[in-house]
Amino acid sequence: MKSIRSSLLIRLSLVMGILFIASGAAIYSVVRAGMIGNVDDQLRLASIGARELLAPEHRSQRPAKPDKPDKRGKRWTEFEQEESGLYFQAWDAQGDVAVRSESLGDNVLPNPGRAGKLDQFFTLNLPDGRQLRAMLFAINPQLKRMAGEVERSGKPRSVMVARDLGDVDRTLSLLLGGIGACGVFVAIGGWLMISRGLRLGLAPLALLGEKAATIHAESLASRFDESTLPSELLPISRRLNDLMARLEQGFDRERRFSADLAHEIRTPIAELQAVAETALRWPDQSTPADFNGILETSRRMQSLVEKLLALARWESRPAVATAEVLIPELLEDCWALFEKKANSRGLTLHRRLPPGLVWRTDVGMLRPIFENLLSNAAEYATDGSVIELIADADSLSLSNQAPRLSAAQIPLLFHRCWRLDPSRSDSSHFGLGLPLAKACAEALGCTLTARLEGAILCFDLKAAEKSFRP
C-alpha cells in the first residue's frame, strides 16, 4: 500500500537534495570564478611588471636592492623567490628561451608556439604536477625591418606570466568540504524536520479517517466538524457530509418502505389466515366464495411482488434496446387498460400530439411510464374532469385536477408505498406505480418530475439531449 507521508517525504527530500546540490554548485562556481578572477587580475599586474623588466633599456641589467626598493625592485623580488608562486618566461622569435624568472627553479613553462592566444588567460600544469594560471603576451610585436634583414636571436618576442593555483585549490577544497559537511547536516536535519512536519500536517487527515471509522447505520445523523479541519480537507469533509445526508435519507426511506411494505402485506396475509382458519374449523360450511377470496388475495400479493421485482429491475439500470415507437398508438394501448374506469367516473382524455409522432426509445421501459401515469390520473382525478396529455419530439406532459394534494406532498409522490390516504383503506393500490415510472424514466436517461399549479397536478417527462428523436 502506498503511503502519502512516505511519498511526500521522499519527494520533498529529493527536491531539497537537488536544491542543496544546485546551490552548493552555484556557490562553489561563484567563489572559484571570483578567486580565478583575482588571480587573473594579479597576472595582469604581473604582465605590466614583466613588460617593464624586459624593456630594451632595462633588459641588460637588474635593479639593485636598496634599503627601499622601487617598484621594479619589488617585481624582481617576486619573480626571483620560488615560494612567491609568480613566474615568467620569455621566448625569442625562434622559440628559444630568452629569459626566465628564478622562481621557476628547475621547471620550464611550455611554449605554446604560434597556436598560443595572446592576452588571454588559460590553465596549464608543470611537470612536477603543480597547476598554474597563465597569460601570454608579446614584446615589441610587428617590428618593421628591411626585406632580407635577419632578426638577431636572443631578443624576447613572447612572454608568459603564471601564478601557482595551489592556494586557490586548497581554499576551494576547504569550501567543498564545508559544503559537503553542511549537506550531511542538512540531509539528516531536513529528513527529521520534514518527517515531523508531515506527521503533524497529516494529523487532521488521520483524525478524519478515525471519525469516518466510527460511522455506522445508527450514527448517520452525525456530521464532520468542518471548523477544526484545514482548508485542504474541507472539500472532502463537505462531500462526506453530503454523502452521509444522502445515506441518512436513503436509510430513512428504506425503513419507511419496510414498514409500509409490512403494512401492505399484513392485510392480505390476515385475510388468508382468517379464511384458512374458518375452513379448518368448519370444513362443511366452506363455499366457492371463500376460495374466490383466497384467489383474489393471492393475486394482490402477486401483483405487489411483481411490482417490487420490476422496480428493482429498472432501478438497476438495465441495457436499453432502442427502436422507433409510434407514440399515439402506444398511448392508445395504455389508455385502453383504464378507459372503462375513467368512463365510469366521467373522465375525458384530451390529447394534443402529432398523429405520426415517433420516439426512438425502449418500448419496454416506456410502456410502464405511460401506464402508471395514466393509471394515476384515472384513479385520482376529480370526477367529471379532463385529463390533458401533450407530447412533442422531446417531451410529454400529463395533467389532471388534484384538489386534495398540497405542495408539500409533491416530493412524496415518487416515494415507494406512499399513498395520499393515511388509513390505506383501499387495498387495491400499493403506492409503487409512480416510483416504478420514475425508475424506468431514469433507466432511459430521462427525467420525470411532478409539479402543482393551483389544483392541477402535472407530470413532465423530458428526454436528455433530444434522445427521443429518430
Is residue 357 in a domain? yes
pLDDT at position 436: 81
Question: From CA 413, how far away is CA 420, in angstroms rounded?
Answer: 9
The Cα–Cα gap between 290 and 325 comes to 44
Task: Please name every residue paired with 357 in a beta bridge, in sequence order, or none if there are none.
Answer: none
69 in a structural domain: yes
In a domain, 182, yes or no: no
d(CA 322, CA 363): 8
Residue 114 near residue 157 (C-beta atoms within 8 A): no
> How many residues are present in the chain?
470
In this predicted structure, what is the pLDDT of residue 441? 86
Distance of CA 88 to the CA centre of its chain: 66
How far the first Cα of the chain sits from its last, in Å, is 50
CA diameter of the chain: 160
Q: Is residue 254 part of a domain?
A: no
Question: Do the domain assignments include residue 446?
Answer: yes
Per-residue pLDDT of the chain (470 residues; tens, 9 = 90+): 577 778 888 888 888 889 989 999 999 999 999 999 999 988 888 888 777 767 655 444 444 444 444 554 455 566 666 667 888 888 887 888 888 888 887 788 888 766 567 788 888 888 778 888 998 888 764 433 333 333 444 567 788 888 888 889 999 999 999 999 998 998 898 888 888 888 888 788 878 888 778 787 777 778 888 887 888 888 888 888 888 888 877 777 677 666 666 666 676 777 777 777 777 777 777 677 767 777 777 776 776 677 666 666 666 666 677 889 999 999 999 999 889 989 999 999 999 999 889 998 888 888 888 988 998 899 889 999 999 999 998 899 999 998 888 888 888 888 776 666 655 555 555 667 788 888 888 888 888 999 998 889 999 999 876 666 66
- Residue 204 falls within a domain, yes or no? no
Torsion of CA 332, 336, 337, 339, to 10 degrees: 120
| Per-residue model confidence (pLDDT) at position 149 | 36
How far is residue 64's CA from residue 77's CA, in Å, rounded to a whole number? 11
The answer as to whether 345 is a domain residue is yes
* Contact of 213 with 222, CB cutoff 8 Å: no
Structural domain boundaries, residue 10: 4-140+153-172
DSSP string, 225-247: -GGGS-GGGHHHHHHHHHHHHHH
Amino acid occupying residue 221: A
Interatomic CA distance for residues 155 and 144, integer angstroms: 15
pLDDT of residue 109: 85
How far is it, in rounded angstroms, from Cα 463 to Cα 286?
55
Alpha carbon distance 337, 403 (integer Å): 25
Single-letter amino acid code for the residue at 118: L
Whether residue 366 contacts residue 444, with contact meaning beta carbons closer than 8 Å, is answered with yes
CATH of the domain at 360: 3.30.565.10
How many domains does one find in the chain? Answer: 2
In a domain, 326, yes or no: yes
Confidence at residue 142, expressed as pLDDT on a 0 to 100 scale: 42
Angstrom distance (rounded) from CA 469 to CA 224 = 46
Q: Nearest-CA neighbor of 166 among 123, 136, 137?
A: 123
